[in-house]
Structure 1
Amino acid sequence: MKPQIHPATDIGLVSLKIKHLERSISFYTEVIGLKLLKREERRAEMTADGMKPLVILHEIDDALVLPERSGAGLYHFAILVPNRASLGLVVRNLIRNNIPVGQGDHTVSEALYLSDPDNNGIELYADRPRDTWKRDSTGHYVMGTDPVDVEGLLAVSDHMQWTGLPAGTVIGHVHFHVSNLQDAEQFYVNLLGFDITARYGSMALFISAGGYHHHIGLNTWAGEGAPPVPENAAGIDYFTLRLPDQTALDEVVTRLTESGYSLTQRAGGLFVKDPFNIGIRLEVKSNG
């Protein structure tokens, strides 16, 4: 029997490697709608609620800005807003800033896609009510790629004022290019204990805890066998897996160490690398 990660597990903050801190702070405040929470010489914490960070920007020396799909690493991280009206305000702000976006109605959610100045992919999305999500005969969620009703988003946000992303905004999921989907499934499903919620042939896999449509997406769209992006490239530094209590965290740590993975303790939590050199921070959810 495969292990089961605690159903209350979710995604916490993401840390990004970027080339120019000032440029990225401007982008994430003006275009995305986050607020600056804390600023250091080469590091900034960005927040939605003014209390806890959602995105950390870490400027690195001579960062390489790579074309999209250059290797195993970040495809996008996904910022989940509380409701459809909030997503409508996001649309209005993107239009105001003349930002080109991709978009997709995924049946379970409505999503907008763009990239930051370092080609880090970003999704901004709102979920539909969970009781409307449908499963197919295999038990997987039905997720489409229809056009988003942009006019409807504009209508539902009419007469509302943009003040940035609202409190209640979280990181809903992360999505990665990987070198091999079977290796990704072995690590995230058979070792960490996530459940498969959708599979698209041999090229993409969606997984979650607790019945969410997906907390992590995994794909080989950068090519089967694609190497990890270089350490000095802009991209994902780490993402956070938040477990509900110490027991749940200890269970994951035990499985990792028994399988030969090395964990390091640093300020902020326990860190491990997945098979594709993507950093993961493990932490217990705060009560705050």
Structure 2
Amino acid sequence: MSAVLHPATKLGAVSLRISDLAQSVRFYTEVVGLRMLRQHGRVAELTADGRETLLTLEEIEGFEESKTRTAGLYHFAILVPDRVSLGLALRNLLAHHISVGQGDHLVSEALYINDPDGNGIEIYADRPRETWKRDAQGEYIMTTDPVDIDGLLALSADKEWNGLPENTVIGHVHFHVSDLHQARAFYCDTLGFELTAHYGGAALFISAGGYHHHIGLNTWAGIGIPNTPRRAAGIESFTILLPSDEELQAVTGRIREAGFTPVQREGAWFVQDPSEIWIRLLVA
């Protein structure tokens, strides 16, 4: 049996490629509710707690629109601590006349939007873990039902929107991939995530520590699609936070054994997945 990630593994900051930094900063601060932490040149770092970077935005020189369906970001998901926070986020989205998708997934309630470059964003709140149900195969039972929008609005009616709460985190990331078997081999057999749900032969949810999913993988955009071009909008990197140096060494060791080459820079280890998305490995 392949080694699995430590159950305390979490996700950290996400980095996106965008076309216009000023436009995206306005969107992510005014509409999404993050705050500016620092800016240097074409790069801005945004935060929820005023201390740690949650999202990095990089304006790409020579930006190009992607003309085809590609492997890469489907959405990244911002996890708020409770339904009141989700209701307040919804109120702010509606106040800015943002088109909002939604889904009650039983384990969570989610709102879906796109940023100005079409990068997908999910803002969601988990239901208590003790309410999550598994099927006979041990996989989490998830679906996409309508969210109780009226309930969220009523719950937050007498509260004031002050941006995303301090304890907001990146909950998961979800990718279009060109080859689901290849993606599963990398993320599960090499990195050590465990399968939590699958949907036919077209989508997998995987996680560490029994979470419903830290990563979603799907071929809904097509099998064999090309990777997202480096000058197009999309995800540049995401962060996996490991609980110890020993766990970091174990993971980078498995990466090397699988024939991938991790590189060290900026105080972290990086490796690219089969879709050429950089994964940043850090000790929390």
TM-score normalised per structure 2: 0.98
Distance across 1 between alignment mates of 2:2 and 2:196: 15
Q: Per-residue displacement from partner, 1:223-265 (whole Å, max 9, x unpaired)?
A: 0011101111111000001100000110000000111111111
SS at match of 1:158: coil
Amino acid at match of 1:8: A
Output the aligned Cα RMSD. 0.9
Instruction: Quote the residue 1:3 is aligned against.
Output: 3
Is 1:278 aligned to 2:270, yes or no? no
Distance across 2 between alignment mates of 1:180 and 1:85: 39
Amino acid at match of 2:226: P
Q: Per-residue displacement from partner, 1:123-150 (whole Å, max 9, x unpaired)?
A: 0000000000000000000001000000
Instruction: Quote the residue 1:247 is aligned against.
Output: 246
Amino acid at match of 1:192: L
Instruction: Quote the residue 1:17 is aligned against.
Output: 17
Instruction: Quote the residue 2:163 is aligned against.
Output: 164
Instruction: Quote the residue 1:216 is aligned against.
Output: 215
| 8 Å CA contact retained: 1:65, 1:233 | yes
| 1:62 Cα offset (Å) | 2.0
| 1:66 Cα offset (Å) | 3.2
| 1:209 Cα offset (Å) | 0.2
Structure 2 residue runs without a partner (length 5+): none
The 5 A counterparts of 1:190-269 are 190-269=189-268
SS at match of 1:46: strand
Instruction: Quote the residue 1:51 is aligned against.
Output: 51
Amino acid at match of 2:251: V
Instruction: Quote the residue 2:185 is aligned against.
Output: 186
The 5 A counterparts of 1:32-51 are 32-51=32-51
Instruction: Quote the residue 2:96 is aligned against.
Output: 97
Q: Per-residue displacement from partner, 1:189-239 (whole Å, max 9, x unpaired)?
A: 111111100000010000000000000000001100111011111110000
SS at match of 2:274: coil
| 1:64 Cα offset (Å) | 2.1
Instruction: Quote the residue 2:117 is aligned against.
Output: 118
Distance across 2 between alignment mates of 1:262 and 1:40: 29
| 8 Å CA contact retained: 2:66, 2:229 | no
| 8 Å CA contact retained: 2:84, 2:152 | yes
Seq. identity, % = 59
Q: List, as ranges, runs of 4+ consecutive aligned residues in structure 1 with deviation greater than 3 Å.
A: none
Structure 1 residue runs without a partner (length 5+): none
| 1:63 Cα offset (Å) | 1.5
The 5 A counterparts of 1:128-167 are 128-167=127-166
| 1:65 Cα offset (Å) | 3.3
